[in-house]
Amino acid sequence: MKNREDIALEFNEFSKNYTSDMIRCVPHYMEMVESFVNFLPEEFKPNSILDLGCGNGNITAQIVLSFPKATYTLLDASKDMIDLCRKQFQAFDIKYANTYFNDFQFQKDHYDLIVAGFSLHHCDNDERQELFKKIYSSLKDGGIFSYSDLMISKNNPEHPGLLQEWGNFVNSNFPDGEKWAWVMEHYKNYDNPTDFTVQLKWLKNAGFTKIELPFKDGYWIYLQAVK
Ligand SMILES: C[S@@+](CC[C@H](N)C(=O)[O-])C[C@H]1O[C@@H](n2cnc3c(N)ncnc32)[C@H](O)[C@@H]1O
C-alpha cells in the first residue's frame, strides 16, 4: 500500500472520467449507488447527513433527490472530487470537508445518516475499526450508517476467484486489457478490502446491533447498520 497522502492525488486524477469508469470497472456500481436510497426504511427522514469519501458526489446525488431540505457534510481527501461536488450541489445546504477521515472532527450524536460509497476499503484495519467507533458515536439514536464496498480480504482463499470474475467483467468493457491492468495497479497500491465477517465483528464492537445486507452479489455488498 502507498502512503495515505497519495490517495488524494490518485483520486484527483481518477476524477476526470470517474462515473463512466466506475460503471465499467465495478460490477453493480449503479445498483449499489441507488441502494443508498432504495433500501432506507420508508419512515426514515434524515435531516443531517454525512458522506464519507464522497468522490464526485454520486451517493449524495441520489440522496438529495429524496431529501432536498436536509443538511449535508461531504468529506473527501481529494480536492478535485470536492470541486466537482461544489459545482453539482449549489442548490443544496452542503458543507465541505477536504480532509482525511482521520483528521475529521466527528460531532457526537449529530447525524441521522452517515454514508460511505466504496471509500472505506482505502483505510487500513486499525483505522477502519476506529472509524466505525467514531461513526457510531456521531450518529443520533436510531441513525443509520450505510456503506457499499468489496468485502473480501486479499488473503481469503476465494480471492483469486473474485479477481478472475472481476477481471472478466472489466475486460468485457475494455477488451484491450489496459484498464484491468490499471485497476490491478490501483488495487495493489490503494485498496485494503476486508471480509464481511471481520467487518461485522468490528461493527458490533463499535456498538451496532441491527446490521443488514439489503444488496449482496458475491463480495459486492451494500450494508446498513442502525444505532
Ligand atoms: C472509489 S471513490 C468513491 C466515491 C463515491 N463515494 C462513490 O461511491 O462513487 C473513493 C473516494 O474516497 C476518498 N478517500 C479514500 N480514502 C480516504 C480517506 N482516508 N479520507 C478521505 N477520503 C478518502 C477518495 O479520495 C475518493 O474520492
Using DSSP's 3-state secondary structure scheme, residue 108 falls into: coil
Decide if pLDDT at 1 tops 60.
no
Per-residue pLDDT reduced to its tens digit, 119-174: 999 999 999 999 999 999 999 999 999 999 999 999 999 999 999 999 999 999 99
Q: Is the pTM of this model over 0.85?
A: yes
Q: Locate the ligand 1 atom nearest the alpha carbon of residue 78 and give its number.
A: 25
From the CB of 32, is ligand 1 less than 6 Å away? Answer: no
pLDDT for residue 8: 84
Q: Locate the ligand 1 atom nearest the alpha carbon of residue 100 and give its number.
A: 20
Specify the DSSP element, H or E, that contains 102.
Answer: none
* Residue among 61, 49, 63, 65 at smallest CA distance from 85: 61
157/179 Cα distance (integer angstroms): 25
Q: What is the mean pLDDT of the chain?
A: 95
Question: Where would I find the beta strands (DSSP E) of the chain?
Answer: 48-52, 71-75, 93-97, 111-117, 139-150, 210-217, 220-226
Side-chain-facing half-sphere of 99: CA atoms under 13 Å: 11
Percent of the chain scored above 90 by pLDDT?
92
- Does 1.10.357.10 match the CATH number of domain 5-226? no
User: How far is the centre of ligand 1, averaged over its atoms, from the C-alpha of 155 (Å)?
Assistant: 23
15/81 Cα distance (integer angstroms): 6
User: How far is the centre of ligand 1, averaged over its atoms, from the C-alpha of 25 (Å)?
Assistant: 16
Per-residue pLDDT reduced to its tens digit, 70-112: 999 999 999 999 999 999 999 999 999 999 999 999 999 999 9
CB 76 within 8 A of CB 104: no
User: How far is the centre of ligand 1, averaged over its atoms, from the C-alpha of 11 (Å)?
Assistant: 8
User: How far is the centre of ligand 1, averaged over its atoms, from the C-alpha of 156 (Å)?
Assistant: 24
